[in-house]
Every structure is written in C-alpha cells, then in structure tokens.
C-alpha cells in the first residue's frame, strides 16, 4: 500500500483538505474503510450485550437457604423450596431422576432413629429395666 499525499492547497478561510490515499488492491481499500468506519461509527463502539457484562450487575438473590434440606433453593417470593418442596409435608421426589433419588434416599444421612431399630427388633422391642437391675426379690415366709 502506497500512501501518496497530494500537495494540500490552502483553501479559503483556512479549510484543510483531507489527504488522498491510493491503494494497490481493492482489498486494501475495503480494509481501510472498515477501520475508518469502526472508529467513527458510534453503534459499533457501544456494547449492546446480554452476556458477560450484564451478569456483573446482578445484586439481588431469588433463592435463600431452606430450613429443611439446607440447600440454597428456597424461593423468596414463592416461599417454596425447589429441591425438597418445603413447606409441603412430603419430600419432593420424582421417578424420572434416578440419581437424585440415590442421593436423597434413606441411609445417606445420620439415621438417628432407624439405625437402632434393627437391634431392638432382634430383642423383641423390650421396654423397662433389665431383670437383674431390680435387685434381689423379697421372699416372704
């Protein structure tokens, strides 16, 4: 690309004429026009996006911690947990999600009550004190 500037003639009232550029190929001319357009056109410099720059402006949360399952799934306006279904009486579960059922099924938590049931079942669910702890029996004669 060769730039040959025509000698500028002084115009009346101090106007300055733009340099005339000569291009060897039409591609060089189109590239130069693209660069000139991108710097002067205001629509290309303004970012009209719904992507990354928009995500930084989000400050409000739609979900908060659930009292029942502890996950951040309780919708604030609906007051309904998207994970366990709180405040519904029954736990939310669907048969179309095999892995979710595996994660939440019985045996994945502490089982505070259920882990003692099998031991008590073997002994017939005995209640009260053991017989030896009652002390010697009184025999009246």
Listed range (15-19, 67-71, 114-118) with the worst mean pLDDT = 15-19
Helix (H) or strand (E) holding 55: helix 52-55
> What mean pLDDT is predicted for residues 6-10?
55
Domain ranges of the chain: 17-43
- Phi and psi (nearest 5°) for 115? -70, -15
Token pair 């060089």 is found at: 28
- CA 23 remoteness from chain centre: 52
Tell me the C-alpha distance between 139 and 62, whole Å: 74
Q: Is 35 left (phi over 0), alpha (psi -120 to 50) or beta?
A: alpha
Radius of gyration of the chain from its Cα atoms, rounded to whole angstroms: 41
pTM flag (> 0.75): no
User: How does pLDDT run across 120-134, given as a tens digit for each residue?
Assistant: 999 999 998 887 777
User: How does pLDDT run across 61-113, given as a tens digit for each residue?
Assistant: 999 999 999 999 999 999 999 999 999 999 999 999 999 999 999 999 999 99
């Amino acid at each position: 690309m060769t730039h040959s500037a025509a000698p500028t003639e002084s115009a009346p009232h101090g106007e300055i004429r733009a340099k005339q550029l000569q291009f060897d190929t039409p591609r060089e001319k189109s590239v130069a026009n693209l660069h000139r357009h991108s710097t002067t056109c205001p629509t290309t410099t303004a970012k009209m996006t719904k992507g990354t720059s928009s995500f930084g402006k989000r400050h409000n949360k739609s979900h908060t911690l659930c009292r029942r399952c502890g996950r951040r799934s309780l919708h604030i306006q609906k007051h309904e947990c998207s994970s366990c279904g709180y405040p519904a009486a029954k736990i939310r579960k669907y048969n179309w999600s095999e892995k979710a059922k595996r994660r939440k099924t019985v045996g994945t938590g502490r089982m505070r009550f259920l882990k003692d049931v099998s031991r008590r079942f073997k002994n017939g669910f005995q209640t009260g004190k053991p017989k030896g702890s009652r002390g010697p029996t009184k025999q009246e004669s």
